[in-house]
Amino acid sequence: MIKIQVEDTDGTKREISFEANPSSNLMEVLTEEKFDVPAICGGMAGCGTCHVAVLTNADKLHTPDDDEEFMLDSLPNFQEGSRLSCQLPLTDALDGMEIKVLGDG
């Protein structure tokens, strides 16, 4: 079981847990858990509305691919640790991570 700490756009914090599943991604978990993640494009790195800041363990994650980089570049609230949660598969690398939902800017 993977556990992570999530801060929503309204500042509330909650721990959520889920099973590792490389064919699913963090955006899907966040929307199911009703965080403020509109995820308009449904996971294509195409809209930037699942933008999160990874506050801890960011170095354990794979580096963003071109599509993700491109979208991150266009987000005005980009910050250190910025990632698109739809591009983060549910692997053990996420365990213990703290993230902040940044909304759709």
Partner 1 sequence: MIQTDICIIGAGPVGLFAVFEAGLLNMRCHLVDVLPQTGGQLSEIYPKKPIYDIPGYPSILAGDLVTELEKQIEPFKPTYTLGEKLMKLDKRGDRDFLLETDEGTQIECKAVVIAGGLGSFEPRKPALENLEKFEKSKGVHYMVKDPEHFRGKKLVLAGGGDSALDWTMFLAEMAAELTLVHRREAFRGAPDSAAKVQELAKEGKINLVLNSQLKSLQGGDQLESVIVSSKGEEDKEIACDYLIPLFGLSPKLGPIADWGLNVDKRAVEVDTRDYSTNVEGVYAIGDINTYPGKLKLILCGFHEAALMAHSAYAYMNPDKKAATLKYTTVSGISGFE
Question: Residue count at the site for partner 1 (CB under 8 A)?
Answer: 19
Contact flag: residue 93 with partner 1 (CB under 8 A): no
* DSSP 8-state code for residue 70: H
- For the chain, the residue count is 105
Least distance from C-beta 42 to partner 1, angstroms?
Answer: 8
CB atoms within 10 A of CB 77: 12
The reply on whether position 63 binds partner 1 by CB under 8 A is no
Residue 78 within binding range of partner 1, rule CB under 8 A: yes
45 to each of 15, 95, 98, how far by Cα in Å? 25, 22, 21
- Which residues are at the interface with partner 1 (CB under 8 A)? 38, 40-42, 44, 46-49, 69-70, 73-78, 104-105
